[in-house]
Amino acid sequence: GQQLNQSPQSMFIQEGEDVSMNCTSSSIFNTWLWYKQDPGEGPVLLIALYKAGELTSNGRLTAQFGITRKDSFLNISASIPSDVGIYFCAGGGNKLVFGAGTILRVKS
Amino acid sequence: ETGVTQTPRHLVMGMTNKKSLKCEQHLGHNAMYWYKQSAKKPLELMFVYSLEERVENNSVPSRFSPECPNSSHLFLHLHTLQPEDSALYLCASSPRGNGGLGGTDTQYFGPGTRLTVL
């Protein structure tokens, strides 16, 4: 079946740093969605992408729908402590397929 | 607040109990979904209801039984569960409900029910 490889699995951030994560697949998707999940809550939609090559921003977040339709990335600029959480990509085809998530933690 | 509510937020049940999870969406959407989220695994789609009709998902054990009485409400009835069924159960809804599994429709999630089976 369709699978997504999301990387990195986890990362530590220092306040003010830029953060990048991505999802790749051997399958083509028609949509890419990025969600954030805080502990004890459901995933919250951050950015939705509907067209290959599309680049969309939401505040400090920027995501792109890869030209090949097999990948997507999410960038967070100038990270702040409340950015910690789990970020999921999801590729939409016949159904929505989710990556395993990227855990963002704060460097102490 | 995403417009999708779930109750209860936490549930502990024995293997012989029968319980139900409830989901309600206030977004006027046409499709609703149940997902299972286990630690360190991607979200697993369990069931899809599109315009109140169930779209088959054959991989879910019969001890999970969904019900969609109308486009705003979705239930998941649980009976004779196993400890490995302990997980976060998430409900989602999406606007279009095009009769498929909702792959190209943006989904909005509720806060989830944390289920523990003893």
Does position B99 have pLDDT exceeding 60, yes or no? no
| pLDDT tens string A9-35 | 999 989 999 999 999 999 999 999 999
Query: What average pLDDT does range B98-112 have in this prediction?
Result: 80
Q: What is the pLDDT of residue B97?
A: 64
Taking Cα atoms as reference points, which of A30, A12, A32 lies closest to residue A99?
A: A32
Distance of CA B24 to the CA centre of its chain: 11
Q: What is the pLDDT of residue B77?
A: 97
Taking Cα atoms as reference points, which of B45, B37, B76 lies closest to residue A43?
A: B37
| pLDDT tens string B23-74 | 999 999 999 999 999 987 888 989 999 888 888 676 899 999 999 999 999 9
Distance in Å, alpha carbon of A98 to nearest chain B alpha carbon: 6
pLDDT bucket at A106, cuts 50 / 70 / 90? confident
Percent of chain B with pLDDT over 90: 69
Does position A56 have pLDDT exceeding 70, yes or no? yes
Q: Which of A40, A44, A95 sits opposite B45 (nearest CB)?
A: A95
Report the distance separating Cα A66 and Cα A32, nearest Å. Answer: 9
Query: What average pLDDT does range A68-81 have in this prediction?
Result: 96
Q: How many interface pairs between A and B have CB atoms less than 8 angstroms apart?
A: 64
Report the distance separating Cα A79 and Cα A61, nearest Å. Answer: 10
Report the distance separating Cα A41 and Cα B116, nearest Å. Answer: 16
Q: Give the SS3 label for residue B84.
A: helix
Report the distance separating Cα B3 and Cα B25, nearest Å. Answer: 6
Distance in Å, alpha carbon of B107 to nearest chain A alpha carbon: 8
Percent of chain A with pLDDT over 90: 86
Q: Give the SS3 label for residue B11.
A: strand
Structure tokens at A74: 């999410």
